[in-house]
Amino acid sequence: MSTAAAPAPPKRLLVLACGALINELQAIVGTHALDHVDVECLPAKLHNRPSLIAGAVRDRIARLQGEGRSYERILLGYADCGTAGALDDLCAEFSARARQGDGPEITRVPGAHCYEFFATARRFEEMSEAEPATFYLTDYLARHFELLVWKGLGIADHPELAEMYFGNYERVVLLTQTPDEDERARIEASARASAERLGLPLDIVETGYGELETAVSAIAAPRRKTAPSQLAAPRRSTLSDPLAAPRRSDEDRVPA
């Protein structure tokens, strides 16, 4: 009596992401039992040097290939993130080669920045239209406000810069991802302290993992015989984000 052959194990996939997303990505992969998905992160300090992100992605992929680690598909855990389309160009280049059978297809999370893909595009647009002069925090930024904002922008050494950076803002909005109540309480307390430091009111919006979770789930799903994924919609950042401005050598102190 013959038995049906066991289905082939799914091919390994990679999420190559900003280090600021490591907690969220580990939660998504664990929750959905995506055992065939690897997560690699680049230093979060690249946020302050967005022109270097695409090159760092290319270098990490080359390193992984040199180590014999091959993937069918790679999702970049980045939105445009201030790269002015450089990540879209990289995705297009690799995906064109993938259609010729040469290497992995690469896509990215849609949107201009992580604030947008956590909140989802429509919800973020509504918040931005309601109050354009909003300074956004994610869980990661709330945890590391002192290092990323106060020291990273040079305010710790030059307090007069606080007015220059934040004088035109009207509110702080925390976009919170974590479902853990105790952790959320700690993050909200940090966000409140940060808003008070800036002299601004705080609003809290529970986003969950938003379009990041959608993108990871999409790349992990079985392939369909359709056109290549359109995850990397060419939406580029126009958000005025003080963290995108490099400050001397401060980016070296941003946690990975």
Paired residues of 176 in beta bridges: 206
**What CATH number is given to the structural domain containing 43?**
3.40.50
Which amino acid is residue 198, in one-letter code?
Answer: L
Quick one: 201 and 218 in the same domain? no
Mark whether 179 and 108 lie in a shared domain.
no
113's torsion region: left (phi>0), alpha (psi -120 to 50) or beta? beta
List all residues 6 or more positions away from 256 whose beta carbon is below 8 Å from its beta carbon. 19, 41, 42, 43, 44, 45
- Is residue 61 assigned to a domain? yes
**∠ CA(12), CA(18), CA(21), 5° rounding?**
85
CB 14 within 8 A of CB 46: no
Q: How do residues 61-103 score in pLDDT, each as one tens digit? A: 999 999 999 899 999 999 999 999 999 999 999 999 999 999 8
The domain in which residue 177 lies consists of 114-206
Higher per-residue confidence, 74 vs 248: 74
pLDDT, the chain, mean:
86
pLDDT band at 252 (very low <50, low <70, confident <90, very high): very low
- Judge contact between 142 and 238, C-beta under 8 A: no
Shared domain for 35 and 94, answered yes or no, is yes
Are 140 and 249 in a shared domain?
no
214 and 109 within one domain: yes
Residues 125 and 170 in one domain: yes
- Asked if 156 and 239 sit in the same domain, the reply is no
Domain tally for the chain?
2
Does 6 map to a domain? no
pLDDT of residue 224: 56
Name the pTM for this structure: 0.82
Per-residue model confidence as pLDDT tens digits over 5-52: 555 555 789 999 999 999 999 999 999 999 999 999 999 989 888 999
- Residues 106, 25 share a domain: yes
Residue 1 lies in a domain: no
